[in-house]
Structure 1
Amino acid sequence: MRNPFPENEVFNRFLGLKNHFREFQTQESRRRTTEISQLARLIQDSGDKISFDLLGSVNFGMAEATSDVDMVLYLDCGHDEEATYENCPMWRFYESLLITSILRELTDRPYHIQVVDCINLFRLEKAILNRGFDDDIIARFVFYRTICRGVNKRVIRPYEKLIMNDKQLFRHIEETLTEALLVFIRSSSHGKSFEKYLSRLADSGSKIPLTVVEKVHDYLQLQNK
């Protein structure tokens, strides 16, 4: 999803830095993205709509062998409630069984996957059509789609198209999402992640452009604002 907040300094800095790091993407990041794409296709072939957004080191292209994978899961739960383990059996099924067992079949180097959120596409569509701008699910969807790395995006593209040109919606949620991104940036773990990313680039022998180092420094200054 293209950045719906093109004049927002916080989002622009985050996305600009992410794009800079992706220019030095590791083989491990490529491998994991490919394997998770294969996983999505296998599930899709079974008849269920599924999509993922990847966060963390894979999102920035900086994953290594010991990295975990954090993801957002997109599923149609068949009802208009918030997705939970109890009311969306597919979430429990795919996280506990297929993501674990199928990935072991797809890769000779299994890694830990953590589902940090699940978006119920049935509820999302209803909220969008009813213009429920205060519904948390719309804000979460826009946030993840703006900052994360999508896998099997064709499943969620129709929902993006429903809101893509809705300037009223984006004005309504911009302040909330900017604050959410600032909270994320200000977390100590986020700052440490960038230190690790720069260290990995140096260890790999990549010549880190001074502009990237400066952008990281400027970006991390947002932690103090």
Structure 2
Amino acid sequence: MKIIFLTDIHGSFNQTAALIYESMADVYIIGGDLIDIPFYGINTAINYHDLQTDLKNLRKKMNREDMILEDFVDNLLDFPNVPDDIADKGTDYQQLTIRARRVMQQKYKVLENMISFKSSSQIFTLPGNYDMDLKYTSLHERDLHLHWHNLGGLKVAGYGGAEVWTAGIPERYIVKYNVGIGINDFNNEMYTFFKAVKPDIIVAHQPAHGIHDRISHIGPSGSPALRSFCENNPVKLCLTGHIHNDWGFTAVEGCVYLNPSNFGEVTTIQGEVSEGGFFYQIEFDSAEMARVSLKKFVNDRIHDIAEYYRKEGKWVEDIIDNERFQARRIGENYDMKVEKYSHIPEIELFKDIKNFFRMFRTLETEARLDELEKAIEVLQGEFTDIAMDVVGSVNMGISQQSSDIDVVLYLRCGQNCRDLYEQCGCYRQAKTKIEEIIGGKYEFEIIDCIDLNVVEQSIVTKNYECEVTQRFVAYRSICRPINYKVIAPIEDILNENIEFRRELEGSIRSYFRIFATTSQHMRSFDKYESRLKSIGIKLPESIRDKIRQYLQVAHPDN
């Protein structure tokens, strides 16, 4: 079983949906905070926050802190002779609170609509301190707060919220966090719930005390009850978030604690933007945790940052992408420094079309991708660097039972084969091995082979005319990778000089135009549309228009 855990998405719904469509897992767990602000406009949010602050101060002055703020305001406005300015603030606050509830529910409905297409996986959500109680929202069936599920023989249970009320969120609608310091374990809602359920996997927003819970200048801020339960019960895995900067992997008393840091971009208290994209992938072999991977999702690319696996009974850390790992460790942005750029129109159109089709990714597609990943894992023992890019129906996500597999193979052969790869010994050896692994299950074809040594050299020397590198750029722009950690360092070097990449994309533009207008390519899109029709999905006219543009076929009305 494979679990992907991301948390603190803070309204990054598009990024979250893109990760779900791009990745493969049996279970996705999206921890709080799910939204950022309970309004659509920042000025409304600021106005609400200011009203909230003034009324909180008044509540304190009147010694009514035993009441939640919304009840206090309702009660206050019932008093006779309330000063006009106070009455106006109270009325505005009441109206905006109603508006906030409606907007929050709308936002959760948007998230539900975006993730609901991934029907092949189970997806759960957990509220944080920025969220309202999800039982009143479209996400109620995915809500892990005070709920548990059996996942492949493992029980997962959740408890949301945090021991803090986030300013700007209506107090009336937040998750009541009945787990505070000073509440003994037996009167503690979270502890008694977990005690009854006996979970193997715990999902909580606020971390356990002393583990991934440190706040600068304050110290530990986590839950003693959560720490106590995990240490006194056979919990295998504890997934938390909330504290973005105290992230990481920690194993204590047989329990692994994970905090991946924020997935959505956030603004720090210093007013700076902190990039997100971080998540964990956890793999179970039967009931035992076999591997944990820290990853980062950037511009539809999944970067492998670090892996954790057992060796001689102990967990071992293997840092794969040291630059991104160290940047996160010291709290620096890494990928936000890369210059933003747009692909040539043909690539942008293709990506838009692909992103639509992959929302309906079939089980047959996932089976083929899974087989390719297993094949690469076997081949890594024989080849220093080996990876693939998937093309065709598998890349689009709508393979059927009869669909074949077409891939581009990446190697470092050291023989400078360039366009003569079919004569290359490394290529022939890899092809034979892949056919042995996959050939009996699926029709399989390697349509191209790229020597990464050639690509790397041409990027460093700025060789604009290297056709191998031009093809690399084309595939990397539109295909889905297998074992991206091999390709990522090369693409990082390429992205250091965006102008060079633009020039290479310009060089391949004519190839795209020729390729896009072939009858076989046109038939492929007709076939993809037919597959959607077979499951009751009508192709939106906006996507149909993009396909026409991409294929350079005039609109019938023109």
TM-score with structure 1 length normalisation?
A: 0.88
CA distance in structure 2 between the partners assigned to 1:212 and 1:68 by the alignment = 25
Which whole-Å CA distance do the structure 2 matches of 1:133 and 1:27 have between them?
40
Shift of 1:210: 4.0
Q: CA deviation at 1:68?
A: 1.4
Distance 1:11 1:5, change over 3 A: farther
Flag the 1:84–1:75 CA change in 2: closer, same or farther, 3 A.
same
- DSSP 3-state at the match of 2:387: strand
Residue 377 (structure 2) aligned to one of 22, 41, 64: 41
Shift of 1:19: 0.5
**8 Å Cα contact 1:55/1:71 also seen in 2:** yes
Residues 1:90 and 2:445 are matched in the alignment: no
- Pairing partner for 1:26 from 343, 362, 366: 362
The CA deviation at 1:223 is 4.2
Shift of 1:11: 1.6
Corresponding residue to 2:350 among 14, 17, 37: 14
Partner of 2:490: 159
1:52 pairs with one of 375, 388, 391:
388
Alignment map for 1:112-131 (pairs within 5 Å): 112-131=443-462
CA distance 1:137–1:219, shift in 2 (3 Å): closer
Q: Aligned in 2, Cα 1:50/1:42: closer, same or farther, shift over 3 Å?
A: same
Distance, in Å, in 1 between the alignment partners of 2:393 and 2:499 is 33
**Pair 132,217 (structure 1): closer, same or farther in 2 beyond 3 Å:** closer
Of 45, 60, 69 in structure 1, the residue corresponding to residue 405 of structure 2 is 69
Larger relative contact order (Cα-Cα within 8 Å, sequence gap ≥ 6): 1
1:194 aligns with 2:525: yes
Partner of 1:29: helix, strand, or coil? Answer: helix
More helix by proportion, 1 or 2?
Answer: 1
SS in 2 for 1:190: helix
* Identical columns (%): 32
- SS of the aligned residue for 2:403 comes to coil
CA distance in 2: counterparts of 1:98 and 1:149, whole angstroms: 21
2-side partners of 1:156 and 1:63: how far apart? 25
Partners in 1 of 2:385 and 2:353 — Cα distance?
31
1:99 to 427, 434, 456: 434
CA distance in 1, matches of 2:493, 2:517: 32
CA RMSD of aligned residues (A): 2.3
| Partner Cα separation in structure 2 for residue 48 and residue 8 of structure 1 | 33
Aligned residues of 1:85 and 1:92 also touching (Cα < 8 A): yes
Could you give the per-residue CA deviations for residues 134-189 of structure 1, whole angstroms, max 9, x where no partner exists? Answer: 11111111101001111111001111011113133123223222221111111111
Alignment partners' CA distance in 1, 2:534 and 2:472: 36
CA distance in 1 between counterparts of 2:526 and 2:448 reads 26
Task: Provide Cα deviations, 1:91-140, integer angstroms capped at 9, x if missing partner.
Answer: 11121x21111125xxxx71111111111112222222222121111111
Structure 1 CA distance for aligned equivalents of residues 502 and 438 of structure 2: 40
Contact 1:79–1:123 (CA<8 Å) still a contact in 2?
A: no
Displacement after TM superposition at 1:2 (Å): 5.0
Alignment partners' CA distance in 2, 1:123 and 1:174 = 18
Q: Residue 495 of structure 2 contacts residue 501 of structure 2 at CA under 8 Å; is this kept in 1?
A: no
How far apart, CA to CA, are the structure 2 residues paired with 1:167 and 1:77?
Answer: 27
* Deviation string, structure 1 residues 21-62 (Cα, Å, up to 9, x no partner): 001111111110111011111111334311001111111011
Larger Rg: 2
Amino acid at match of 1:102: I
Unaligned segments of structure 1, at least 5 residues: none
The answer as to whether partners of 1:69 and 1:113 remain within 8 angstroms in 2 is yes
The alpha-carbon distance between structure 1 residues 47 and 7, as it changes in their structure 2 partners (threshold 3 A), is closer
Instruction: Please give the TM-score of this superposition, normalised by the length of structure 2.
Output: 0.37
The AA in structure 2 aligned to 1:67 is: S
Relative distance call for 1:120 and 1:137 in structure 2 (3 A) is same
Pick closer, same or farther for the CA change 1:47–1:135 going to 2, 3 Å: closer
Aligned counterpart, 2:267: none
- The 1:99–1:152 alpha-carbon spacing in structure 2 relative to 1, beyond 3 Å, is same
Equivalent residues of 1:51, 1:155 under 8 A apart: yes
Greater fraction strand? 2
